[in-house]
Amino acid sequence: MTTTRFAPSPTGNLHVGNARMALHNWLLAKKNGGRFLLRIDDTDAERSREEYVAAIRADLAWLGLTPDGEERQSARFDLYEREFQRLVASGHVYRCYESAQELDLKRKVRLGRGLPPIYDRTALALSEADHNAKAAAGEAPHWRFRLDHTQPIEWLDGIRGPQHFDPAQMSDPVVRRADGSWLYMLPSVIDDIAMGITDVLRGEDHVSNTATQMQMFTALGAEPPRFAHEALLVGAEGKLSKRLGSLGMGELRDAGIEPETLIALLARLGTADPVDPTLDAAALAASFDLARFGRAPARFDEAELHRINAAVVHHLPFARVAHLLPEAMSEAGWEAIRPNLAHIGEAAEWWQVVTGPVTAPQFDAETRAFLADAAETLAAQDWGIDPWHALTAALKDATGRKGKALFLPLRQALTGRDHGPDMAALLPLIGKDPALERLRSATG
Residue 200's beta-bridge partner residues?
A: 227
8 Å CB contact between 247 and 217: no
Rounded CA-CA distance 280/319 in Å is 16
Residue-level pLDDT at 340: 95
Residue-level pLDDT at 239: 72
If asked whether residues 343 and 423 sit together in one domain, one would say: no
Residue-level pLDDT at 82: 98
Length of the chain: 444
Mean of pLDDT over the chain: 95
Rounded CA-CA distance 414/411 in Å is 5
Domain-ending residue, one of 141, 156, 176 = 176
Establish if 55 belongs to a structural domain: no
- At residue 5, the 3 state secondary structure works out as strand
If asked whether residues 346 and 414 sit together in one domain, one would say: no
CATH number reported for the structural domain that contains residue 158 in this entry: 3.90.800.10
If asked whether residues 362 and 341 sit together in one domain, one would say: no
Q: 344 lies in which domain range?
A: 318-354
If asked whether residues 344 and 413 sit together in one domain, one would say: no
Q: Which of 150, 216, 142 is nearest to 179 (CA)?
A: 142
Rounded CA-CA distance 431/178 in Å is 77
Establish if 403 belongs to a structural domain: yes
8 Å CB contact between 290 and 28: yes
If asked whether residues 118 and 150 sit together in one domain, one would say: yes
Rounded CA-CA distance 214/153 in Å is 7
Alpha helices in 269-301, H assignment, sequence order: 281-287
Ordered DSSP codes for 153-209? EEEEETTTEEEEE-GGGSPPPEEE-TTS-B-SHHHHHHHHHHTT--EEEEEGGGHHH
If asked whether residues 365 and 438 sit together in one domain, one would say: yes
If asked whether residues 338 and 364 sit together in one domain, one would say: no
Establish if 63 belongs to a structural domain: no
Residue-level pLDDT at 243: 80
If asked whether residues 92 and 149 sit together in one domain, one would say: yes
Establish if 341 belongs to a structural domain: yes
- At residue 229, the 3 state secondary structure works out as strand
If asked whether residues 323 and 365 sit together in one domain, one would say: no
Count: domains in the chain: 3
Rounded to 5°, the CA angle 286-290-293 comes to 115
Residue-level pLDDT at 339: 96
Task: Tell me whether strands 93-96 and 142-145 are parallel, antiparallel or unpaired.
Answer: antiparallel
Domain-ending residue, one of 144, 176, 208 = 176
Establish if 255 belongs to a structural domain: no
Establish if 82 belongs to a structural domain: no
10-residue stretch averages of pLDDT, the chain, 444 residues long: 97 94 98 97 93 97 97 97 98 97 94 93 97 97 97 97 97 97 97 98 96 98 98 82 83 96 95 92 94 92 95 96 95 96 96 95 96 97 94 96 96 97 96 97 92
Establish if 56 belongs to a structural domain: no
Establish if 97 belongs to a structural domain: yes
b/e burial code for range 344-367 (CB count within 10 A of at least 16 → b): beebeebbebbbeebebeebeeeb
Give the CA dihedral 406, 408, 412, 413, nearest 10 degrees: 0
CATH number reported for the structural domain that contains residue 361 in this entry: 1.10.10.350
Q: Which of 334, 273, 335, 333 is nearest to 298 (CA)?
A: 273
Rg for the chain, CA atoms, rounded? 32
Domain-ending residue, one of 141, 159, 176 = 176
Is 0.85 surpassed by the pTM of this model?
yes
Q: Which amino acid is at 275?
A: V
Q: Which amino acid is at 185?
A: M
- At residue 96, the 3 state secondary structure works out as strand
CA distances from 214 to 4, 166, 193, 202 (A): 17, 12, 12, 15
If asked whether residues 170 and 93 sit together in one domain, one would say: yes
Residue-level pLDDT at 402: 95
End-to-end alpha carbon distance in the chain: 74
